[in-house]
Structure 1
Amino acid sequence: MRWPRARHGAAWAIPAALAIDAIGTGLYLPLSMVYFLTVTDLSESGVGLLLTAATACSLLLPLLVGRLVDRIGPRPVVIAGQLLQAAGFFLYLGVAGPVSLFLAAMVEAVGLRVYWSSVFALIAEQADGEDRDQWFARAGMIRAAGTGAGTVLAGGLLALGSQHAYRGMVLADAFSFLVAAVTVALFVRGARRPAGRPDGESSDGGVRELLRNRPYLWLIGVNVLFNICTVFLAVALPVYMIRGLHVPGWAVGAFLTITTAVVATCTAEVTRRSRRRTTRGGAMAWGGRLWAAWCAAAAMAVLLPRGPLLVGYLALVMLLWATAEMLHGPASNALSAEAAPEGRRGTYLAAFQYSFATADMVTPALFGVLYGVNRVLPWVAVGCLALTASVAIRPLERRLTDDGAARGSTARTAGATPARRTSAADRN
């Protein structure tokens, strides 16, 4: 698989770091609750509340990280995020009670937020124009494949059921983030930064500019609706299929594996073909329509009898989700990078991460409340959100494109004026 053009060693170093990071994350997520219950005397609810509180402490970081990215560049911030995650996992080895668990989880959560608030700016810095779509597509493929591989390894460790195996997992995760940080530090070079802050503004000018940029804020809001569809898979699918449809547990695992494999292997090709036929906003709109179709098809599964027919039907339904994810993910990241002003891209892309964080927080409550009323109702609600987002994104994309063209025209005019003055001075 050939990667798009990039600067220096980034064409292989960034994918390698992404893969290492994804495998570590995939290894950790299925085992985290089990590990903390093993090494402490806390209950499931106690561990869950501590992890939620630790994550909540990091929610204000993206805008601060974005300002830092704009000042010093994304590369050192990405490295810092990976080192903080490594430090968090090393601290996990010493967890013995609620205080040590909260502190270790907070360090890891801060590192995670720092990393994901800066890594997309690093990717955007390495390629321009059409190459960005392929970069984001392949980054998504690597993330899916790495997380899937980590999950398979975690399954093997769960089968062992050994505290030593769990500690080995934590240690392996810590070293994986160290290796990823060293890879970026040694082989990725940041773009040359202009001297001083853009336009001579203060360090918080990017945030003020962002808050005045209504189209970009709307982009973040619309992307929350799209991302609810993404998060809804992991939140709703196991409960709905096992408790609502009485599908065997092994089938749910098989569905998730198939979906991960499709996204990990086909995203780049789907992105390449979609960019030939439509704009980034158009690809996102099609993703929303397919997510709505996925929700409708999943809701209608209650009409089918239990057995092989239902399992086969659900397997086909999952392909709708995978196709929607492949259309939406790379296009949304590329559009957010394209719409961000050049000198403020770190701040804008960090703020764009709030669309993911908001979806992570909202989706479990949305599903839990609606599922308590009726098992089909969550699918109807999320399908309506997907259609709403697909309708809103096309006119929003046009506004973002027009604003970007206006900014570029202004910048070119401003850049031409000093040149004319210099020329006149030379003639004198």
Structure 2
Amino acid sequence: MSVRRGRAALLAALGIDMAGTGLFAPISLLYFQAVTDLSLPTIGLLISVATIASLPVPVVVGHLVDRYGPRGIVITAQVLQGVGFAAYVQAHGPVSVLVPSLIVTVGQRMFWCSVFTLVTEVAPPGRGAQDRTFALFSMVQSAGLGAGSLIAGLALSGGPHAYRLVVVINAASYLVSAAALYFVPRAPRVKTDKVAGSYRDLLRDRPYLGFIAVNGIFNLVAVMVGTAVPVYVVEGLPAPQWLAGPLLTFNTVLLATGQTLAVRLVRRLPRTRALALAGAFMVVWALAMALAVRIPGALLIAYLPLSMAFFAAGELIMAPVANALASAAAPDHLRGRYLAVMQYGFAVAQIIAPTFFTVLYTRGRALPFVVLAAVTAGASVLIARSSLGAGRSEGTLPAEGQKDGSDDPRTGENEWTSAD
């Protein structure tokens, strides 16, 4: 099977996966409220326990990816999520919510800790080609989420039977995605003298750890869009309450359509400088959101989408470039572990975002966005400075991870032979 067809199979699998995710996410709490007698705080606690219990997964998955390759891990992750969502159909009490939730969250952690290594394997060589592959990956992710979310809007008024149908469809989507991934060929295992290695190597790699921290701050901005913007628009601003939904939809449309264009526009920049530019756009968005409290209500209908366009510009650059840089800067024999640990940035952002927003919001409506702008500005300066110098001896990411936009002259279309 050709590499080109392998990329198509991977993109199809991702699109199916994310459509199912987008379909279920808006009704998740409503579903458990409808089919169980549990209170909303209890449901939230059970899901949080499952999420925290899955935090050690990246450490294990990274080791397995380096040893066996990412393809089988990604397929296993999809099957686990399909089984977990299928078990949700029988949810009726605490245990029948907690156990499937744990299966689902473990599957999710496995997926996100291994899929970027798989994308790296199917991407053609060369900075430009790899960035475009990650950009296409992000576009499909956003499009799938958006499509699923739009359909979920129809299910919100359907009651328990509609919710249960959504759960069944989501479970099926993961199994279909796993089947599609079967057609992604295995990459040949790279033979290297550096067969040894452990997480101690990563813990000694301070530039990479710094990059993970900076990327975690960018992830916090992304999580804050879904966590904070709806509450801020509905309760904190004199804007029409109906504006929150279209605002997030507008953001999704931008992310689903502009990824490859954004990567093309920054392809001549070193990746670290491109990330600093992405951070600058996010800073402008956060400051614009903070200033929204001073904007008359009638003008917010135009002002907020314009503000959201700055976030979208930053996210369009950040998502593919950060993933490509993380992959390029990782040693070949430790890439699975490096990329798995990268996922802790997003996990931590998911955990702290609600508290970050609610604590600051109670002290001032605009305060969360002011603090977020300051933190993001600092992260942007740090990532920009990390592009100075040419090697790790100077405290920077390696030059091969941040080179300019010139592509490798190879076509990247070498055939792989599937071992299946």
Normalising by structure 2, report the TM-score.
Answer: 0.91
Residue 321 of structure 1 aligns with which residue?
311
In structure 2, the residue matched to 1:93 is 89
**Cross-structure match for 1:341:** 331
Output the CA distance in 2 between the equivalents of 1:257 and 1:194: 42
Change in 2 beyond 3 A, CA 1:200/1:324? closer
| Mapping 1:234-249, distance limit 5 Å | 234-249=226-241
Query: Residue deviations 1:164-221, cap 9 Å, x none?
Result: 2111111111111001101111x111211146x86342xxx33121111111111111
State whether structure 2 residue 177 is matched by structure 1 residue 174.
no
Q: Is the 8 A contact 1:263 1:326 kept in 2?
A: yes
In the TM superposition, what are the counterparts of 1:253-402 in structure 2 within 5 Å?
253-276=245-268, 278-307=269-298, 309-398=299-388, 402=392
Alpha-carbon distance in 2 for matches of 1:227, 1:19 = 21
- Code of the residue aligned with 1:342 in structure 2: it is D
Please list, as runs of the form range in 1=range in 2, the aligned pairs for 1:57-76 lying within 5 A after superposition.
57-76=53-72
Is 2:238–2:296's contact at 8 Å kept on the other side of the alignment? Answer: no
- Residue 146 (structure 1) aligned with residue 144 (structure 2): yes
**Identity of paired residues, percent?**
42
Q: Per the alignment, do residues 301 and 183 of structure 1 end up closer, same or farther by CA in structure 2, a change over 3 Å counting?
A: same
1:200/1:336 CA distance change after superposition, 3 Å: closer
SS in 2 for 1:275: coil
Residue of structure 2 equivalent to 1:199: 194
The answer to whether the 8 Å contact 2:195/2:333 transfers is no
- Alpha-carbon spacing, 1:355–1:26, altered in 2? closer, same or farther (3 Å): same
What secondary structure is seen at the aligned counterpart in 2 of 1:94? coil
Instruction: Describe the superposition over 1:243-283 as per-residue Cα deviations: whole angstroms up to 9, x where unpaired.
Output: 1103222211111111100110011111111113x111111
Matched, 1:12 2:8: yes
- Report the residue type matching 1:284 in the other structure: L
Partner Cα distance (1:399, 1:352) in 2:
23
Which of 73, 77, 80 pairs up with 1:81?
77
Assess if the C-alpha contact under 8 Å between 1:285 and 1:394 holds in 2.
yes
AA paired with 2:162? A
CA distance in 2, matches of 1:86, 1:404: 39
Aligned residue for 1:283, secondary structure, equals helix
Change (3 A) 1:350 1:137: same
Structure 1: distance between partners of 2:145 and 2:256: 10
Shift of 1:400: 7.9
Q: Which structure has more helix as a fraction of its residues? A: 1
Q: Distance in 2 between matches of 1:370 and 1:406?
A: 40
Aligned-partner Cα distance in 1 for 2:145–2:193 = 38
Query: Is 1:24–2:15 an aligned residue pair?
Result: no
How many matched pairs?
Answer: 394
* Greater radius of gyration (CA): 1
Per-residue displacement from partner, 1:385-410 (whole Å, max 9, x unpaired)? 11001100022244685563599xxx
Does 2:105 correspond to 1:104?
no
1:111-150 to 2 correspondences below 5 Å: 111-127=107-123, 128-129=125-126, 130-150=128-148
CA distance, structure 1, for counterparts of residue 221 and residue 399 of structure 2: 31
Query: Scaled by the length of structure 1, what TM-score is found?
Result: 0.89
- Partner residue, 1:44: 40
Unaligned stretches of 5+ residues in structure 2: 402-420
Match of 1:165?
162
Q: Which runs of 4+ in 1 moved over 3 A?
A: 397-407
**Distance change >3 Å, CA 248–CA 198, structure 1 → 2:** farther
Structure 2 distance, partners of 1:136, 1:8, is: 14
1:360 and 1:280 map into 2 onto residues whose CA distance is 25
**Change in 2 beyond 3 A, CA 1:200/1:293:** closer
In structure 2, how many angstroms separate the alpha carbons of the residues matched to 1:382 and 1:49?
26
Mind listing any 5+ residue stretches in structure 1 that lack a counterpart?
Answer: 1-5, 408-428
Contact 1:15 1:142 (8 Å CA) reproduced: yes
> Which string of whole-angstrom CA distances, capped at 9 and with x for unpartnered residues, describes residues 216-246 of structure 1?
1111111111111111111111111111103
Aligned partners of 1:328, 1:144: CA distance in 2, in Å?
14
Letter in 2 for 1:404: P
- 1:418 is aligned to none
CA RMSD after TM alignment: 1.6
